[in-house]
Amino acid sequence: MTDLNEQDIQPPQNIEVPSQLPMLPVRDIVVFPYMVLPLFVGRDMSIKAIEAALAGNRMIFLATQKALDVENPAPKDIHTVGTAGIIMRMLKLPDERIKILVQGIAKAKINKYIQTDPYYSVRIDKVPDTKPTATPLEAEAVMRTVKEQIERIVSLGKVLIPDVMVVIENLEEPGRLADMVASNLGLKVDITQAVLEIADPIRRLRQVSDILGKEIEVLSMQQKIQAQAKGEMDKTQREYFLREQLKAIQKELGELDERAEEVTEFRKRIKDAKMPEKVLKEAEKQLKRLEKMHPDTAESATVRTYLEWMVELPWSKRSKDNLELKAAAKVLNADHYDLEKVKERILEYLAVRKLKEKMKGPILCFVGPPGVGKTSLGKSIAKALGREFVRISLGGVRDEAEIRGHRRTYVGALPGRIIQGMKQAGTSNPVFMLDEVDKVGMDFRGDPSAALLEVLDPEQNTAFTDHYLGVPFDLTEVMFITTANLIDPILPALRDRMEIIEIPGYTEEEKLGIAQRYLIPRQLDEHGITNKHVQLSEPAIRQIISHYTREAGVRNLEREIANVMRKVAKKVAEGKGQGFSIDPSNLNKYLGVSKYVPEAELEQDETGVATGLAWTEAGGDVLYIEATVMKGKGQLTLTGHLGDVMKESAQAALSYVRSREKSLNIDPSVFSKQDLHIHVPAGAIPKDGPSAGITMATAIASAFSGIPTRRDLAMTGEITLRGRVLPIGGLKEKILAAKRAKLTTVILPRRNKKDLEEIPKHLLKGIQLAFVDTMDDVIKIALRRRGKTPPTSKKQPASPAPARIRPLRSGKGRLSHELPATVMTDRVPARS
pLDDT tens for residues 245-287? 777 776 776 655 667 778 888 889 998 988 999 999 999 999 9
* Dist. CA 824–CA 609, nearest whole Å: 19
Query: 449, 691, 702, 816: which one is catalytic?
Result: 691
Q: Stretch 492-505: mean pLDDT, rounded? A: 85
Task: Please name the helix (run of DSSP H) or strand (run of DSSP E) that holds residue 189, with its range, or none.
Answer: helix 189-196
Q: Stretch 313-322: mean pLDDT, rounded? A: 88
pLDDT at 364: 87
Q: How many CA atoms lie within 13 A of 729 on its CB side?
A: 18
Q: How many CA atoms lie within 13 A of 618 on its CB side?
A: 19
Q: How confident is the model at residue 566 (pLDDT cuts 50, 70, 90)?
A: very high
pLDDT digits (tens, 9 = 90+) for 651-676: 888 898 888 888 888 888 888 888 89
Per the CB < 8 A criterion, the answer to whether 160 and 150 are in contact is yes
pLDDT at 315: 92
Q: Which residues have C-beta within 8 Å of that of residue 22, sequence separation ≥ 6? A: 49, 50, 52, 53, 60, 61, 119, 120, 121
Q: Quick check: 21 pLDDT over 50?
A: yes
Per the CB < 8 A criterion, the answer to whether 736 and 507 are in contact is yes
Q: Bigger pLDDT: 823 or 277?
A: 277
3-state secondary structure of 151: helix
* Dist. CA 801–CA 792, nearest whole Å: 13
Query: 734, 739, 816, 832: which one is catalytic?
Result: 734
Q: Stretch 816-828: mean pLDDT, rounded? A: 34
Q: How confident is the model at residue 391 (pLDDT cuts 50, 70, 90)?
A: very high
Q: Quick check: 1 pLDDT over 60?
A: no
Q: Bigger pLDDT: 810 or 382?
A: 382
Q: In this structure, what DSSP letter does residue 135 have?
A: -
Q: Quick check: 508 pLDDT over 90?
A: no
The residue length of the chain stands at: 832
* Dist. CA 368–CA 246, nearest whole Å: 66
Phi, psi angles (nearest 5°) of residue 616: -130, 170
Q: In this structure, what DSSP letter does residue 410 have?
A: S
Sheet hosting strand 674-679, strand order edge to edge: 636-639, 674-679, 619-631, 609-616, 713-715, 745-749, 768-772
Q: How confident is the model at residue 357 (pLDDT cuts 50, 70, 90)?
A: confident
* Dist. CA 725–CA 37, nearest whole Å: 84
594 in active site: no
Q: How confident is the model at residue 14 (pLDDT cuts 50, 70, 90)?
A: low
Residue numbers in the known binding site are: 368-375
Q: Which of 230-234, 527-531, 589-593, 780-784 has the lowest mean pLDDT?
A: 230-234
pLDDT digits (tens, 9 = 90+) for 406-463: 888 888 888 989 999 999 999 998 999 999 998 888 777 778 888 888 888 888 888 8
Q: What is the DSSP string of 89-111?
A: EEEE-TTS-EEEEEEEEEEEEEE
753 in active site: no
Q: How confident is the model at residue 815 (pLDDT cuts 50, 70, 90)?
A: very low
* Dist. CA 217–CA 528, nearest whole Å: 68
* Radius of gyration of the chain measured on its C-alpha atoms: 42
Residue numbers in the known binding site for ATP are: 368-375
Give the torsion through C-alpha atoms of 494, 498, 503, 504, to 10 deg. Answer: 50
- Mean residue pLDDT across the chain: 82
pLDDT at 253: 67
High-pLDDT (> 90) share of the chain, %: 15
3-state secondary structure of 390: strand
pTM: 0.58
pLDDT at 734: 85
Q: How many CA atoms lie within 13 A of 625 on its CB side?
A: 35
pLDDT digits (tens, 9 = 90+) for 283-316: 999 998 888 787 777 888 888 899 999 999 999 8
pLDDT at 314: 92
Q: Bigger pLDDT: 363 or 758?
A: 363
Q: How confident is the model at residue 822 (pLDDT cuts 50, 70, 90)?
A: very low
pLDDT at 820: 32
